[in-house]
Structure 1
Amino acid sequence: MQSGKMTISQAAKREWPAKLTKVLCLLVIPGMLIGLVTSLHFMDYFRDGLLQSFSGAPVQQEEHDIHVHMLGSREYQSFHHKMPDDELLWRASMVPQRPGKIPIPRTPKVAFMFLTVGPLPLAPLWERFFHGHQKLFNIYVHSLPAFEPDEAPSSVFFGRHIPSQEAKWGDISMCDAERRLLANALLDYDNERFVLLSETCAPLWNFTFSYNYLIKSHYSFVGVFDDPGPFGRGRYNERMLPEVTLQQWRKGAQWFEVNRELAIYIISDMKYYPKFQEFCRPACYVDEHYIPTMMYIEFAAQLANRSLTAVDWSRGGSHPGIYGHHDAQQYLNRIRGDQGCMYNSEPGHICFLFARKFAPNSLGPLLQHSSF
Structure 2
Amino acid sequence: MAPLWEMFFEGTRVCFPSMSILSRRTMGPCRLILFFMAEGFKPEWGKFSMVEAERRLLANALLDVSNQRFVLLSEACIPLFNFNTIYDYLIKSTTSFVESYDLLGPVGRGRYDNHMRPYVTLEDWRKGAQWFEMDRELALEVISDHLYFTLFKKYCKPACYSDEHYLPTFITKKFPQKNSNRTLTWVDWSRGGPHPLKFIRTDISPDMLIRLRTGTQCVYNGMPTNVCYLFARKFTVNALDRLLRFAPMIMQF
Output the CA distance in 2 between the equivalents of 1:323 and 1:197: 16
Please show how residues 163-174 of structure 1 align to structure 2 within 5 Å. Answer: 164-174=40-50
C-alpha deviation, 1:236, in angstroms: 0.3
RMSD: 1.8
Measure, in 1, the Cα distance between the counterparts of 2:239 and 2:54. Answer: 26
Residues 233 and 249 in structure 1, CA contact (< 8 A), matched pair in contact too = yes
- Please state how far the C-alpha of 1:328 moved relative to its aligned partner: 2.5
Q: Structure 2 length as normaliser, TM-score?
A: 0.88
Q: Cα distance 1:359–1:186, how it changes in 2: closer, same or farther (>3 A)?
A: same
Q: Is contact 1:141–1:181 with CA below 8 Å preserved after alignment?
A: no
Q: Distance in 1 between matches of 2:65 and 2:95?
A: 20
Alignment match, 2:213 = 336
- Aligned partners of 2:214 and 2:226 also within 8 Å: no
Q: CA deviation at 1:259?
A: 0.2
Paired-residue identity, %: 53
Query: Cα gap change, 1:287/1:140 in structure 2, threshold over 3 Å: closer, same or farther?
Result: farther
1:263 corresponds to:
139
1:222 match: secondary structure: coil
How far, CA to CA, are the matches of 2:47 and 2:134 in structure 1?
22
Tell me if the contact between 2:185 and 2:231 (Cα under 8 Å) persists in the aligned partners.
yes
Quote the Cα distance in structure 2 between the aligned partners of 1:203 and 1:162. Answer: 19
Amino acid at match of 2:212: I
Q: TM-score, normalised by structure 1?
A: 0.60
**2: distance between equivalents of 1:163 and 1:341?**
34
Equivalent in the alignment of 1:279: 155
Alignment of 1:149-164 (within 5 A): 164=40
SS in 2 for 1:321: coil
- 2: CA distance, partners of 1:369 / 1:162: 28
Q: Tell me which amino acid in the other structure corresponds to 1:333.
A: I
How do 1:73-222 and structure 2 match up within 5 A?
122-136=1-15, 141=22, 164-222=40-98
Equivalent-residue separation in structure 2 for 1:267 and 1:361 (angstroms): 36
Task: Give runs of aligned pairs for residues 210-359 of structure 1, distance below 5 A.
Answer: 210-329=86-205, 330-359=207-236
The alpha carbon displacement at 1:316 in A equals 1.8
What is the aligned residue count?
234
Whole-angstrom distance in 1 between the partners of 2:219 and 2:37: 34
Equivalent position amino acid for 2:195 in 1: H
Q: Secondary structure at the match of 1:179?
A: helix
Letter in 2 for 1:199: E
Greater share of helix residues, 1 or 2? Answer: 1
CA contact (8 A) 2:93 2:220 kept: yes
Change in CA separation of 1:187 and 1:125 when aligned onto 2, cut-off 3 Å: same
Contact 2:216 2:228 in 1 (8 A): yes
Q: Tell me if 1:362 matches 2:239.
A: yes
Q: Is the 8 A contact 1:328 1:358 kept in 2?
A: no
Q: Any stretches of 5+ residues in structure 1 without a counterpart? A: 1-121, 143-159
| 1:254-307 CA-partner distances (Å, limit 9, x unpaired) | 100000011111111101011100100000011000011001011111111100
Partners of 2:21 and 2:181 in 1: CA distance = 25
Alpha-carbon offset, residue 161 of structure 1: 8.7
Distance 1:237 1:180, change over 3 A: same
The secondary structure found in structure 2 opposite 1:196 is: strand
Q: Which has the higher contact order (CA 8 A, sep 6+)?
A: 2
* Structure 2, gaps ≥5 residues long: 24-35
The whole-number CA distance in structure 1 between the counterparts of 2:156 and 2:6 is: 38
Question: Deviations for 1:147-201, whole angstroms, at most 9, x for unmatched residues?
Answer: xxxxxxxxxxxxx996832200111101111011111100111110000000000
Aligned mates of 2:134, 2:106 — CA distance in 1 = 28
3-state SS, counterpart of residue 182 of structure 2: coil
